[in-house]
């Protein structure tokens, strides 16, 4: 049996998109992927992201926010940047890690003008579902989206 692919989902604050991606990867692809998430900063776990994922049957409430610097010694196969800021600030990883950028909209930014929690949550649900679609295509989608090494 081959070893699981080690994939880091990297975002700005490790509060929403990267956490959702890690949750989906563990839930859908735990047999072939060892998933991690981190941020170039840490903003704390976003409660609306937790709620949106729970609605889909994935519990990320026990996840914690991690700075990418704490994971630099993990031998990742892929680093998937899920926002432009993380892609621009992505550090170089030792070893064979390939960096792939797959950007998703920022739910907190989209929800800023929401008139109700339900309206805000609709943005999180859309991005959650887009991330799920991407994760369902892993690991094949990484080869197609490969940007830089």
- Cross-strand partners of 33: 5
| Residue 11 a catalytic site member | yes
Q: Which of 11, 16, 64, 65 is catalytic?
A: 11
| Residue 83 a catalytic site member | yes
Q: How far apart are CA 66 and CA 143, in angstroms?
A: 26
Matching residue, tokens 């679609």: 133
The Cα-based distances of 57 to 61, 97, 110 in angstroms read: 12, 30, 23
Q: How far apart are CA 63 and CA 128, in angstroms?
A: 16
Q: Which of 16, 64, 65, 90 is catalytic?
A: 90
Q: How far apart are CA 95 and CA 131, in angstroms?
A: 27
Helices and strands: H and E segment counts in the chain:
6, 5
Q: Beta strand pairing status for 98-101 and 78-81? A: parallel
Catalytic positions: 11, 83, 90
């Amino acid at each position: 049996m081959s070893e699981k692919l080690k994939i880091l989902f990297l975002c700005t604050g490790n509060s929403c998109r990267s956490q959702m991606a890690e949750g989906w990867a563990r839930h859908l692809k735990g047999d072939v992927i060892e998933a991690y998430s981190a941020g170039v900063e840490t903003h704390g776990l976003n409660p609306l992201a937790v709620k949106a994922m729970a609605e889909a049957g994935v519990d990320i409430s026990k996840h914690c926010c991690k700075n990418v610097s704490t994971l630099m010694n993990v031998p990742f196969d892929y680093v998937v940047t899920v926002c432009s800021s993380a892609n621009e600030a992505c550090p170089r990883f030792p070893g064979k890690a390939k960096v792939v950028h797959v950007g998703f909209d920022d739910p907190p930014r989209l929800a800023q003008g929401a008139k109700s929690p339900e309206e805000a949550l609709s943005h999180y649900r859309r991005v959650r579902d887009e991330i799920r679609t991407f994760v369902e295509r892993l690991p094949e989608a990484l080869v197609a989206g490969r940007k830089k090494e």
